[in-house]
Amino acid sequence: MARLAFVLACALALLASSVASGAIVEHSFNVNNLTVSRLCQNQSITVVNGSYPGPAIYARDGDTLIVHVLNQSPYNISIHWHGIFQLLSPWADGPVYVTQCPIRPGQSYTYKFNITGQEGTLWWHAHISWLRATVHGALIIHPKAGRSFPFLKPAKEVPILLGEWYNGNVVDIEEEGLSKGIAPNISNAYTINGLPGDLYDCSQNQTYQLSVVRGKTYLLRLINAGLNTQLFFKIANHNMTVVAIDATYTTPYITDVVVTGPGQTTDVLVKFNQPIGSYYMAATPYASASDTIDFDNSTTRGIIVYKSANSSTPIMPSMPNPHDTPLAHKFLTNLTSLAKGPQWVPVPLKVDEHMFVTIGVNLEMCPENATCQGLFNNRMSASMNNESFVLPSNTSMLEAQFHNVSRVYTRDFPDEPPFKFDYTDTNISLDLSLIYAPKSTKVKTLKFNSTVEMVLQNIAFLAIENHPMHLHGFNFHVLAQGFGNYDPINDPKKFNLVNPQIRNTIGVPVGGWAVIRFQANNPGIWYMHCHLDVHLPWGLGMAFEVENGPTPESTLPPPPLDLPKC
């Protein structure tokens, strides 16, 4: 206990030092509607400060970020700071009905939090309905003043936000799908920094361009801000060196293709050393499921123009097949953390909580007097360990934890599924004895500072696909990942306990599994969910309730006075 108190005291001293030495970075976000022209039509979208994508935020490790959000849109809103630890500031995390009630139209809320022990590329986005499609922007964290990157300083840093565009109001598209009990419409285009590129109709003049100087090295900060699609990204005739993922440094990895799922970020160094000319950067879908699941099979592209280049047709990269899972798996499993680099955290070796969690798509019985168009005239659903998560509607879970309010959630999320079976056998895809999941609001309660190991196992219900799972409030080590059923005897022998990749969002392989490990060192309620927005309202999520620590400084603070009310 004395050693724990000493460690906490040191951590808090570092936190205090960080706060004292950091700057105050302050922004105002006005959320409103904006009419833009895309794909031959005018479309009203919800944006921040009149721009799509929204404004980029730049800060340093140790800074305090204050963002005043005024909601002038017709929709409820909240903002999530994707990948920020929110150490002792869970009220600023943003997921609606988890850590706050929504900011109603005409209302405001100020997010305030310290950036502690983080640097790299993160992002912010709406965390309610499908508004994330257009309400998002980059969040770039530089090292503290006087410190440098663990690689040569690039000539320029460029955020590249990859998104999805919908011809229609995204809130209406989501609600229509939910009302019918089916998957909503797929996107109509992909975008690079808000522009679809010249392969789409009426988009010749809506192609992102980046001017570069031959011989210089640039840092491209790739952010997958799409709702539902994993993407392949390439640059014609250029290799990329991956140096960070999810704001954690990696062992430099040279590749000609990057695979990124919704919510994930990838930093790549690109040396522009080819003959002076123009080259396309392009993104196309990685559709891990079979052709039975519809997806937007199109390509967005931008143009990289070398300075002094004559006008000429840009060179186009050869793009992967959308179903090239071996290529995607090769990229995603070859990444390792930069051991002993800046902000590196070694793998905790003592595990306190072991969890085996199945994830997948399910069915929900159609309510009486309703018409459902899902399989067997039911609604589409989703679950973790056969529990289909339902958000509360009258208060946030964090407020319920702080005020000890009962009947908002229960503390009995299971450590393993209720039934054991061959999880990846496609013959169970339509097994009616298995594919229905009860609705619930269950959390897993964790002791402060306990270490959790989770096996995330994909199951073959209805749709077998890669699921990008995001954990709020923490990074985690990815110890191993593979295909088929997880083998508790042999697969632990494959664990990387030396320099595994560190992420906040992991794509659990299609028809496979991933093992993650994290330390619950932050009291509060922390959401874990699939970052495919088509699956989120269906219930593919759960939450961790982390108890208070042994000192006042490791105790959940009270809510801000301006916290939105339900």
User: The CATH number of the domain where 414 resides is what?
Assistant: 2.60.40.420
Asked, for residue 408, whether it belongs to a domain, the answer is yes
Contact 300, 199 (CB under 8 A): yes
Residues 90 and 113: their CA atoms lie apart, in Å, by 9
Q: Cα–Cα distance between 452 and 355 in angstroms, integer?
A: 8
SS3 assignment for 368-391 = CCCCCCCHHHCEEEEEECCEEECC
Give me 18's structure tokens. Answer: 């960080």
Instruction: Tell me, yes or no, whether 96 and 160 share the same domain.
Output: no
Based on the domain organization, do 321 and 438 belong to the same domain?
Answer: no
Measured in whole angstroms, the distance separating CA 46 from the mean position of its chain's CA atoms is: 20
Largest Cα separation within the chain, whole Å, is: 69
Which pLDDT score, from 0 to 100, does residue 294 have? Answer: 86
Does 564 map to a domain?
no
| Inter-residue contact 61 to 17 (CB < 8 Å) | no
The closest alpha carbon to 380, from 461, 459, 320, belongs to: 461
Do 320 and 366 sit in the same domain of this protein?
Answer: no
Q: What is the Cα–Cα distance from 271 to 155, expressed in whole angstroms?
A: 10
pLDDT for the residue numbered 228: 93
Q: Are residues 254 and 128 in the same domain?
A: no
Task: Determine the Cα–Cα distance for residues 304 and 278; give it in Å rounded to an integer.
Answer: 6
The answer as to whether 347 is a domain residue is: no
Domain boundary, last residue among 142, 174, 190 = 142
Residues in Cβ contact with 342 at an 8 Å cutoff, skipping those fewer than 6 apart: 119, 143, 147, 150, 249
Same domain (yes/no): 391, 505: yes
Residue 433 shares a structural domain with residue 518: yes
Looking at residue 441, its amino acid is: T
Taking alpha carbons only, the member of 209, 205, 247, 283 closest to residue 84 is: 247
561: its two tokens? 């006075």
Kindly state whether residues 119 and 38 are assigned to the same domain.
yes
Decide which of 278, 304, 334 is a domain's last residue. 334
Positive or negative: CA dihedral 359, 362, 367, 370: positive
Which domain, by its residues, includes 39? 22-142
Tell me the CA end-to-end span of the chain in Å, nearest whole number.
40
What span, in angstroms and rounded, lies between the C-alpha atoms of 47 and 31? 6
State the pLDDT at residue 463. 75
The CA angle 497-503-505, to the nearest 5 degrees, is 130
Pair 389, 471 in one domain: yes
Into how many domains does the chain fold? Answer: 3
Residue 291 confidence (pLDDT): 64
Mark whether 316 and 443 lie in a shared domain.
Answer: no
Instruction: Give yes or no for a contact between 467 and 506, defined as CB atoms under 8 angstroms apart.
Output: no
Strand duo 248-255 + 230-235: pairing: unpaired
Does residue 229 form part of some domain?
yes
Asked if residue 173 and residue 103 are part of one domain, the reply reads: no
pLDDT in single tens digits along all 566 residues of the chain: 333 343 344 444 444 444 446 999 999 999 999 999 999 999 999 999 999 999 999 999 999 999 999 999 999 999 999 999 999 999 999 999 999 999 999 999 999 999 999 999 999 999 999 999 999 999 999 999 999 999 999 999 999 999 999 999 999 999 999 999 998 999 999 999 999 999 999 999 999 999 999 999 999 999 999 999 999 999 999 999 999 999 999 999 999 999 999 999 999 999 999 999 999 999 999 998 766 678 999 999 999 999 999 878 999 999 999 999 999 999 999 999 999 999 999 999 999 999 999 999 999 999 888 889 988 899 999 999 999 999 999 999 999 999 999 999 999 999 999 999 999 998 888 888 889 999 999 999 999 999 999 999 999 888 778 889 999 999 999 999 999 999 999 999 999 999 999 999 999 999 999 999 999 999 999 999 999 888 888 999 999 999 999 999 899 999 999 999 99
Domain membership of residue 344 (yes or no) is no
Q: Taking a C-beta distance cutoff of 8 angstroms, is the pair 160, 234 a contact?
A: no
Residue written as tokens 């402060």?
448
Alpha-carbon span 8 to 549, nearest angstrom: 9
Residues 324/331, Cβ–Cβ less than 8 Å: no
For 275-285, letters b (16+ CB in 10 Å) and e give eebbbbbbbbb
pTM, two decimals, is 0.95
Residue 30's contacts (CB-CB under 8 Å, 6 or more residues apart) are 48, 49, 50, 70, 72
Please check whether residues 160 and 262 belong to one and the same domain. yes
Percent of residues in the chain assigned helix, strand, coil, to nearest 5: 10, 40, 50
Closest CA to 392 of 89, 101, 130, 94: 101
Do residue 201 and residue 310 come from a single domain? yes
In a domain, 399, yes or no: yes
Instruction: Determine the length of the chain.
Output: 566
